[in-house]
Structure 1
Amino acid sequence: MANSALDFSAFSPSALSAEETQLIEASVAQFGAPLLLLDCDVVRQQYRALAAALPNVTLHFALKPLPHEAVVRTLLAEGASFDLATSGEVDLVASQGVPADKTIHTHPIKRDSDIRDALAYGCTVFVVDNLNELEKFIPYKDEVELLVRLSFRNAEAFADLSKKFGCSPELAITIITKAKQLGIRIKGLSFHVGSQTSSPQKYVDAILACKIVMEQVVALGLPALSTLDIGGGFPVSYAKQVTPIDEFCAPINTALASLPETVQVLAEPGRFIVAPAVMSVVSVMGQAEREGKIWYYLDDGIYGSFSGLMFDEANYPIVTVNQDTLCYPSVLAGPTCDSIDVVAEHIMLPKLTNGDLIVARMMGAYTSATATDFNFFKRAQTVILNEVCIAEQKLG
């Protein structure tokens, strides 16, 4: 891990600017390649944009897409809360001084040790989506508050997270009723409409369905629910533009306004906060001509920072430091000895030489987090930019 005071937060998403090229070349000269350039100022901008778009929602950053200490510190300074799913994530936020009352634990399926680790830290809000999971909390019923996660399928999402987790409204009522019998407090409901959701209507439909469940709970004489967690999934632009976040959230806010004023609303943004905050910088290790295309072999690939191409279906915008306008059919391959390690098979690139640099944008989510050391190629080093806010630097 390294630090730099250089900034790329204002760069365009297309060709590299002179300042951007200077940053990239200076970073490679100092640290070598491959690199991941993590700009904390972009993290701030994304958090503030979503907070403004959802003004009455408490944002719990989901650590999963980029569990990095600098991200945690930056968001904690912004007043963010955090969404945890594992004991390792508990350890991370604890090590960075995050107060436990600013966290929730949202993995629907937990080992007893996971529950105990979170409680030892001080996190007391957990998620369940079945009766088996509910019963795990009997020994801790005086310490915990639970959210019941509902399932709302979404075939349009990058990852339909309701395929694996969540229950029907009918089962939610059963769980809440059983919890009352067991003396376990149900705090509210939660859902996740899926990663990189393209339509806000998915949230609207889920919010209104949860409202009906909340009304049914009251009608049955069960304790009223005080919390709704609307999950994450807010979209960002990769190869194509998505709806601006303020427009995207407008119908969500309208739906939330229909809930009782006593209901506290939470969200679990992950990708939206960190995806635009990281650029990948790789270098050409070698090249060969195969079937009319030039193959460029890079020092990072599918088993490393570009793991999202396999697990996440993201389409990262790729540019070259060499900005010649004459381009040729090319292939970008990763460094390992596995034939599936190909970053891009159909891409037009200028003629490159060994050592030339290639940049991929939007590399903050599900990249370094899912990278491996396969074939003993080391993972890309992360260079932290602007951990101290630029505005604070200017004031100083």
Structure 2
Amino acid sequence: MANSASVLDFQSFSSQALSAETIDLIETSVAQFGAPLLMLDCDIIRAQYRALSNALPNVALHFALKPLPHPNVVKTLLEEGACFDLATTGEVELVQQQGVPAERTIHSHPIKRDRDIRDALAYGCNVFVVDNLNELEKFKPYKDEVELLVRLSFRNSEAFADLSKKFGCSSEQALVIIETAKDWNIHIKGLSFHVGSQTTNPQKYVDAIRSCKEVMDEVFERGLPALSTLDIGGGFPVTYTKQVMPIDQFCMPINKALNELPETVQVIAEPGRFIVAPAVTSVASVMGQAEREGQIWYYLDDGVYGSFSGLIFDHSEYPIVTLKQDGEFVPSVLSGPTCDSIDVIAENIMLPKLENGDLVIGRVMGAYTSATATDFNFFKRAQTIVINEFEENSQRMIG
């Protein structure tokens, strides 16, 4: 398959109708590679990165690898001028292999082993995150090499994942960490926070930014070294089955709050889902079928232990469409291939009568899908193929 010449019409996935070109590409891909498949479109990566860059013009974007740690994603974003947010030695190794300069990275995991710190420093990444004194103490041996961000907690029950439940400290605790760091001669560079994954209310960012500004003001009043950086995390939302606010509109109040910070404060962010979620489409085929309790069950060759793992781990609801669109639509169930009863993708979904071998398409499946897939029951996870790897040959996608 010639990646650079293949154009997948992802825009057509916003409706039930798929273009003839899209159907042909899907069928050709399955004929060549088999099913299940994940189709990664680098043009979507570019478009999403540029959209967020335009919406946050004064913010340095550090792509968080966690949702989709794929080499082509890293290469595409590196060419776009992106920076990167790392959390593990494996992620350090991935960006190093793709030629990412270490100065364009930060290490944001709040809890680290000593060898994690050493591995990152050996690569050249020297900006780390802490949220407690126990973690701060780990940096005593490296105090002349590192710059730290103190992560604050802002709870958000509305998010897909309330990341402040597991990480972050209060404003009062942050000041204790900063004062202790001064005593230990460890450089605190700034503050960070994460309001939660798939946050649909921008006010959560606004409130967090203003709280961080209060901490920065208090640091100044106490005569502590000035803080020069604010990391506003990720969580920027994408549309799955429910429409979310356009990103430029979403970021307007965030930019307004950022403008209240001193001009000397550099702002960075850690987008993950927003960049990659729309860029991947899954293709699964019907393995078999049965009628149970008045509904037809279709057993696919991909499921929640595979590419649809986000149904459990990420609480996502993926838009699903079938290539076959004719005939009466009836309530159906889509099941994964394993022998586990939890392996169900969708219930009471309206589908036409499908035959064995028919294809089922999942959209917006770039975030927390292949990254959390398994080989449970020895069903191999879906192969990922890359579309529009080279921008110069793929202008129709974003033109």
Give TM-score scaled by structure 2 length: 0.97
Distance in 1 separating the partners of 2:52 and 2:223 = 36
Helix, strand or coil for the counterpart of 1:319? strand
Q: d(CA) in 2 for partners of 1:149 and 1:194?
A: 13
| 1:14 equivalent in alignment to 2:12 | no
Give 3-state SS (helix, strand or coil) of 1:59's partner: strand
Alignment counterpart, residue 213 of structure 1, candidates 212, 215, 231:
215
Whole-angstrom distance in 1 between the partners of 2:286 and 2:243: 29
Give the count of matched residue pairs.
394
1:217-236 matches, within 5 Å, as: 217-236=219-238
Deviations 1:89-145 (A, max 9, x none): 000000000000000000000000000000000000000000000000000000000
**SS state at 1:11 partner:** helix
Deviation at 1:291, TM superposition (A): 0.7
3-state secondary structure, aligned to 2:63:
strand
Shift of 1:277: 0.1
The whole-number CA distance in structure 2 between the counterparts of 1:201 and 1:299 is 41
Residue in 2 aligned with 1:289? 291
Q: Distance in 1 between matches of 2:305 and 2:339?
A: 11
1:111 to 110, 113, 116: 113
* Cα distance in structure 2, aligned partners of 1:169 and 1:391: 50
The offset of 1:18, in angstroms, is: 1.3
Q: For the Cα contact (< 8 Å) 2:330–2:351, is it kept in 1?
A: yes
The Cα of 1:168 is off from its aligned counterpart by 0.1
Opposite residue 7 of structure 1, the aligned amino acid is: V
Could you say what secondary structure the match of 1:249 adopts?
helix
The answer (yes or no) to whether the contact 2:106–2:127 under 8 Å persists in 1 is yes
CA contact (8 A) 1:2 1:383 kept: no
Structure 1 partner of 2:5: 5
The root-mean-square deviation of aligned C-alpha atoms, in Å, is 1.3
Q: Which residue of 1 aligns with 2:49?
A: 47
Give the superposition deviation at 1:3: 4.2
Change (3 A) 1:140 1:121: same
* Structure 1: distance between partners of 2:372 and 2:35: 19
TM-score (norm 1): 0.98
Equivalent pair of 2:150/2:190 in contact (CA under 8 Å): yes
1:75 aligned residue (77, 83, 88): 77
1:300 aligns with one of 292, 299, 302: 302
Give me the whole-angstrom Cα distance separating, in 2, the residues matched to 1:62 and 1:297.
33
Structure 1: tracts of 5 or more residues without a match: none
Cα offset, 1:9, TM superposition? 4.8
d(CA) in 2 for partners of 1:321, 1:392: 24
8 Å contact kept, 1:11–1:17: no
Partner residue, 2:36? 34
C-alpha distance after superposition, 1:213-264 (max 9, x if no partner): 0000000000000000000000000001100000000000000000000000
Structure 1 consecutive aligned stretches of length 4 or more whose deviation exceeds 2 Å: 1-5, 9-12, 390-394
Could you tell me which amino acid in structure 2 is paired with residue 210 of structure 1?
A: C
Asked if structure 1 preserves the Cα contact closer than 8 Å seen for 2:55 and 2:252, the reply is: yes
The 10-residue stretch of structure 1 (179-188 or 2-11) with the greater mean CA deviation from structure 2: 2-11
Matches within 5 A, 1:241-390: 241-390=243-392
Conserved in 2, the CA contact under 8 Å of 1:296 and 1:331? Answer: yes
Supply the distance in 1 between the matched residues of 2:154 and 2:289 (Cα, whole angstroms).
47
SS in structure 2 at match of 1:289: strand
Q: How many angstroms apart in 2 are the aligned matches of 1:18 and 1:344?
A: 26
Identity of matched residues, %: 76
**Residues 2 and 382 in structure 1, CA contact (< 8 A), matched pair in contact too:** no
Match of 1:171 in 2: 173
Cα 1:386–1:171 change in 2 (3 A) is same
Partner of 1:66: 68
Mapped partners of 2:338, 2:371: distance in 1: 19
Structure 2 residues without counterparts, runs of 5 or longer: none
